[in-house]
Amino acid sequence: MRNATRQEFLKAAAAGLACAGAGGALAQVPGQRPQQGQGVKVLNPLARVPVSFIIDDSTCLVNLNRFAIPQFAEAFGYKQYHHDWRKMPPEIPDAFVRKFGEWCGEKGIKGKYSIVPFPACVGRLDRLLPGWTSKELEASIALVRTLMMPNWDIHPEMVTHTWAIDTKTGHPFTERTTRFQENWGWSEGKSVDELTDYMTYGLTILKNIGLPCEGITTPGGFGNRVLAELAQATLAACRDVFKAEIPHYFRHSYGSGERSVAPRVEYASGLDGPDPKCVVSIIGCTGDWTGGWDASRRGEPDKFITADLSKGRMVEVIERGEPAIIVSHWTGIYFNGEEEGFKTFQEVVRRLQAKYDHLIWMKLSEIARYWAARELTQIESGGGAVTFKAPFASPRFTVHVAAKGDAAPKLTLGEKPEPLNEVARRLDLKPGTWTRDKEGVIICFDLPKGTSRVQV
Alpha-carbon gap, residue 151 to 444, rounded angstroms: 22
pTM: 0.94
Eight-class DSSP state of 181: B
Domain match, 85 and 141 both = yes
Domain match, 313 and 181 both = yes
Residue 145 lies in a domain: yes
Mean pLDDT value across residues 230-243: 98
Strand spans (E) along 209-358: 215-217, 248-253, 264-269, 277-284, 324-329
Q: Concatenate the DSSP letters of all residues of 70-106 into one string.
A: HHHHHHTTTSS----GGGS-SB--HHHHHHHHHHHHH
Which of 103, 67, 104 minimizes the C-alpha distance to 86?
67
Q: How many CB atoms lie within 10 A of CB 74?
A: 16
> Has residue 13 got a pLDDT over 80?
no
Domain match, 120 and 248 both = yes
Alpha-carbon gap, residue 346 to 301, rounded angstroms: 9
Number of domains in the chain: 2
Domain match, 347 and 413 both = no
> Has residue 28 got a pLDDT over 80?
no
Alpha-carbon gap, residue 67 to 86, rounded angstroms: 9
Alpha-carbon gap, residue 117 to 115, rounded angstroms: 6
Eight-class DSSP state of 330: H
Cα 33 to Cα 36, 210, 294, distances in angstroms: 9, 35, 42
Alpha-carbon gap, residue 216 to 206, rounded angstroms: 11
Alpha-carbon gap, residue 104 to 349, rounded angstroms: 10
Residue 276 lies in a domain: no
Alpha-carbon gap, residue 434 to 357, rounded angstroms: 19
Alpha-carbon gap, residue 288 to 56, rounded angstroms: 10
Residue 273 lies in a domain: no
Look at residue 27 in the predicted model and tell me its pLDDT. Answer: 54
Domain match, 437 and 313 both = no
Q: What is the CA radius of gyration of the chain?
A: 22
Mean pLDDT value across residues 328-338: 98
Mean pLDDT value across residues 261-287: 98
Domain match, 300 and 426 both = no
Domain match, 70 and 144 both = yes
What percent of the chain lies above the pLDDT cut of 70?
94
Look at residue 37 in the predicted model and tell me its pLDDT. Answer: 87
Look at residue 16 in the predicted model and tell me its pLDDT. Answer: 31
Domain match, 209 and 334 both = yes
Sheet bearing 248-253, strands edge to edge: 215-217, 248-253, 277-284, 264-269
Which of 116, 93, 332 minimizes the C-alpha distance to 216?
116
Residues with Cβ < 8 Å from 340, sequence gap 6 or more?
Answer: 290, 291, 295, 298, 299, 332
Domain match, 164 and 215 both = yes
Look at residue 439 in the predicted model and tell me its pLDDT. Answer: 93
Q: Residue 414: give the domain boundaries.
A: 378-455
Q: What share of the chain is helix, strand, coil (3-state, %, to 5)?
A: 35, 25, 40
> Has residue 2 got a pLDDT over 60?
no
pLDDT digits (tens, 9 = 90+) for 166-217: 999 999 999 999 999 999 999 999 999 999 999 999 999 999 999 999 999 9
pLDDT digits (tens, 9 = 90+) for 47-72: 999 999 999 999 999 999 999 999 99
Residue 259 lies in a domain: no
- Among residues 302, 328, 357, the one where a domain terminates is 357
pLDDT digits (tens, 9 = 90+) for 413-446: 988 999 999 999 999 999 999 999 999 999 999 9
- Measured in whole angstroms, the distance separating CA 197 from the mean position of its chain's CA atoms is 21
pLDDT digits (tens, 9 = 90+) for 377-396: 999 998 889 999 999 999 99
- Among residues 357, 389, 407, the one where a domain terminates is 357
Find residue 171's DSSP bridge partners.
166
On average, the pLDDT of the chain sits at 93
Mean pLDDT value across residues 25-31: 70
Which of 417, 423, 351, 365 minimizes the C-alpha distance to 395?
365
Q: Tell me the CATH number at 348.
A: 3.20.20.370
Residue 368 lies in a domain: no
Domain match, 350 and 385 both = no
- Among residues 325, 357, 389, the one where a domain terminates is 357
Eight-class DSSP state of 147: I
Look at residue 404 in the predicted model and tell me its pLDDT. Answer: 85
Look at residue 407 in the predicted model and tell me its pLDDT. Answer: 87
Confidence of residue 15 (pLDDT cuts 50, 70, 90): very low
Residue 37 lies in a domain: no
Domain match, 429 and 305 both = no
Residue 279 lies in a domain: no
Residue 215 lies in a domain: yes
Find residue 48's DSSP bridge partners.
none
Alpha-carbon gap, residue 326 to 177, rounded angstroms: 31
Domain match, 327 and 207 both = yes
> Has residue 1 got a pLDDT over 90?
no
Low-confidence winner among 6-10, 49-53, 54-58, 334-338 (lowest mean pLDDT): 6-10
Confidence of residue 405 (pLDDT cuts 50, 70, 90): confident
